[in-house]
Amino acid sequence: MKTEIKALVFDAYGTLFDVHSVISACDQKFPGQGPILSKAWRAKQLEYTWLRSLMGRYEDFWQVTESALVFACESLGLPCPTVTRAELMQAYLHLQPFPEVSQALKALSGYSRAILSNGSPKMLQAAVASAGLQGRFSHVLSVDEVKIYKPSPRVYQLACDGMGLAGTAIGFVSSNFWDVVGAKNFGFWTCWVNRSKVPQDELGFRPDAVVPDLTGLVDAVKV
């Protein structure tokens, strides 16, 4: 077991919660367009976090997510009046957890566990509650505290400050490779949950472990 690791810190979106579980809600509004709308929405959501961080013009993740939805709909020629927008945004408060999440967290109960996410506090609280994961995390940390998005080192510092631990005592887990790179650059032990079986980006860092889902993390921390 990696005795130096005292806590495991998880990304939320794409790691614990399936962002593409909004497809069903999108399909209800725009039949047959759910998958392409969800993909465009997510891509623009992430792009806006990076651009806002670089510009120094922070808006919380709820606003970023809504702006990304508006753009995605416009880019696909889909009408997005206020009512439609509000209903699709509500889907983001009730994302489905990946099927192995609950059991994996239970198996990792020997570690302190936390969430460190771009999500706003309201969004994270709603997602955790909707997924039935209350009580599984000692901390649910949002970038809203520092008003900048991942992969800024200021975000990863939140985990150290919030949990009272040095970076070497924290294992960071994300399905987003750019997030893993940010955490590795900061000094965390990292695990990439490569759900999509995609190549690693060429950004000068490699994760300490690569697993197909969170079940694999249980074995990875024992090595």
Query: Which CATH number covers residue 168?
Result: 3.40.50.1000
Residue 55: its pLDDT value, please? 98
The answer as to whether 1 is a domain residue is: no
Nearest in space to 192 (alpha carbons), one of 143, 182, 90: 182
Q: What is the pTM of this model?
A: 0.95
Residue 149: its pLDDT value, please? 98
Residue 3: its pLDDT value, please? 63
Residue 1: its pLDDT value, please? 46
Those residues of the chain that have pLDDT short of 70 are 1-3, 223
The answer as to whether 2 is a domain residue is: no
Same domain, 208 and 128: yes
Same domain, 81 and 103: no
- In this structure, the number of other CB atoms found within 10 A of the CB of residue 22 comes to 23
Q: Which of 50, 73, 91 is the last residue of a domain?
A: 91
Q: Which of 91, 123, 143 is the last residue of a domain?
A: 91
Same domain, 140 and 172: yes
Range of the domain at 36: 19-91
Q: Which of 91, 118, 149 is the last residue of a domain?
A: 91
Same domain, 76 and 173: no
Residue 80: its pLDDT value, please? 92
Residue 109: its pLDDT value, please? 92
Q: Using the CB atoms, write b or e for 65-90: b if 16+ within 10 Å.
A: bbebbebbbeeeebebeeeeeeebbe
Specify whether the CB–CB gap between 131 and 96 falls below 8 A: yes
Same domain, 82 and 124: no
Residues that are catalytic = 11
Residue 222: its pLDDT value, please? 79
Same domain, 134 and 167: yes
The answer as to whether 165 is a domain residue is: yes
